[in-house]
Amino acid sequence: MDNTILSAENISMLFSTRKGTITALKNLTFSVENGQFVAIVGPSGCGKSTLINILAGMLKPTQGRVLLEGKAVNNVNSKVGMVFQKYAAFPWMTVEQNVSYGPRIARLPKSKIEEITRRYIKMVGLEGYEHLYPKELSGGMSKRVDIARAYANSPDVLLMDEPFGALDDITKKQMQLELLKIWDQEKKTVLFITHDLEEALFLANRVIVLQKPEGDCESLNVIQEIPFSRPRLPELRADTEFIEMKTLLAEVMVR
């Protein structure tokens, strides 16, 4: 319990539009323990992006609050790292300049910046591509830059909003394995948003299933612990227990 790093307390988010008020999130409460890999799944429009924007401090909830290490999150800050759904590497910076962005902004000593940059470029396997611009990279490589850049800034928590949503299936599965390896090395809390249930089960310790808040239905559907041992290998996807759990959660999701 005391190991909680991030918690959402009774969060609701209403948007007023021309067509009236839209409830994007309703009474959502959950907490994330330090070092965990938590996945948030849910159908399109259930408020996943809204939630991540609130957790990152980019959006103020209508009700409730977000606590990071016991302190309220009110603004965008470097303690919460982001890997966006879109490719977000700065096009005017090389791979190296992108990865070193956080440390450079923080005005770390030069040797430290170089060390961090080298380490994270190596971690995502982009050695030899340091001096390329994003336009010269493939989709998977761009995503690696985004991930390395977020890690290089050493946030306390990493939020990832469907980071592999735009990738083809093979690249996506490859990136999932790499992300797990990185997560294992870095021991950093990751909150991973996806609409792909299999992806969520494969990656996470815990899956939080959201639903569209309609009527007196609240945002939280179910929280499921994922017991499968690590390291997780591609074969896990064919495991009967894995498939059973996936089927079960898929049923819960459409209910």
Partner 1 sequence: MNENKAKRLYNEQNIKRIQNVSGIALTLILWYVLSNFTSIPDLYLPSPQEIVQCFIKYSKDIPRHITSSLHRIVVGFFVGSAIGIIMGLFIGWNKNVRNILEPLVEFIRPMPPLALIPLFILWFGIGDKSKIIVIAFGAWVVLVVNTIEAVRNVDPLYLDAARSLGANTWDVFRTVLIPAITPDIIAGIRVVAANSFGMCVAAEFMGTATGFGYLIIEGRRFIKTDLLLVGVLLITICSMLANMLIRLIEKRLTRWVPRVEN
Ligand X SMILES: Nc1ncnc2c1ncn2[C@@H]1O[C@H](COP(=O)(O)OP(=O)(O)OP(=O)(O)O)[C@@H](O)[C@H]1O
Which residue in 49, 231, 83 sits closest to 151, CA to CA?
83
- Encoding tokens for residue 58? 């980019």
Determine which residue in the list 4, 49, 171, 205 makes contact with ligand X, applying CB under 6 A.
49
- Encoding tokens for residue 190? 């990751």
Determine which residue in the list 3, 21, 29, 45 makes contact with ligand X, applying CB under 6 A.
45
Which residue in 168, 212, 172 sits closest to 192, CA to CA?
172
Shortest distance, position 159 Cβ to partner 1, whole Å = 9
Interaction between residue 56 and ligand X (CB under 6 A):
no
Interaction between residue 77 and partner 1 (CB under 8 A):
yes
Classified as helix, coil or strand, 177 is helix
Interaction between residue 59 and Mg ion (CB under 5 A):
no
Binds 102: which of Mg ion, partner 1, ligand X, none (CB < 5-8 Å by kind): partner 1
**DSSP string for residues in 194-219:** ES-HHHHHHH-SEEEEE----TT--S
Interaction between residue 84 and partner 1 (CB under 8 A):
yes
Max Cα distance, the chain (Å)? 57
Determine which residue in the list 4, 14, 22, 236 makes contact with ligand X, applying CB under 6 A.
22
The Cα-based distances of 181 to 123, 186, 230 in angstroms read 9, 9, 10
Applying CB under 8 A, the site for partner 1 has a residue count of 25
CB within 8 Å of 26: residues ≥ 6 apart: 12, 213, 217, 218, 219
CB 52 within 8 A of CB 161: yes
The Cα-based distances of 16 to 19, 23, 24, 66 in angstroms read 8, 9, 10, 22
Interaction between residue 49 and Mg ion (CB under 5 A):
yes
Binds 176: which of Mg ion, partner 1, ligand X, none (CB < 5-8 Å by kind): none
Of the pair 22, 108, the CB lying nearest ligand X is at 22
Determine which residue in the list 13, 88, 95, 179 makes contact with partner 1, applying CB under 8 A.
88
Interaction between residue 74 and partner 1 (CB under 8 A):
no
Of the pair 61, 134, the CB lying nearest partner 1 is at 134
Interaction between residue 154 and Mg ion (CB under 5 A):
no
Which residues bind to partner 1, rule: CB under 8 A? 56, 58, 76-78, 80-82, 84, 86, 88, 90-93, 101-102, 105-106, 133-135, 149-150, 153
Which residues bind to ligand X, rule: CB under 6 A? 15, 17, 22, 24, 42, 44-50, 195
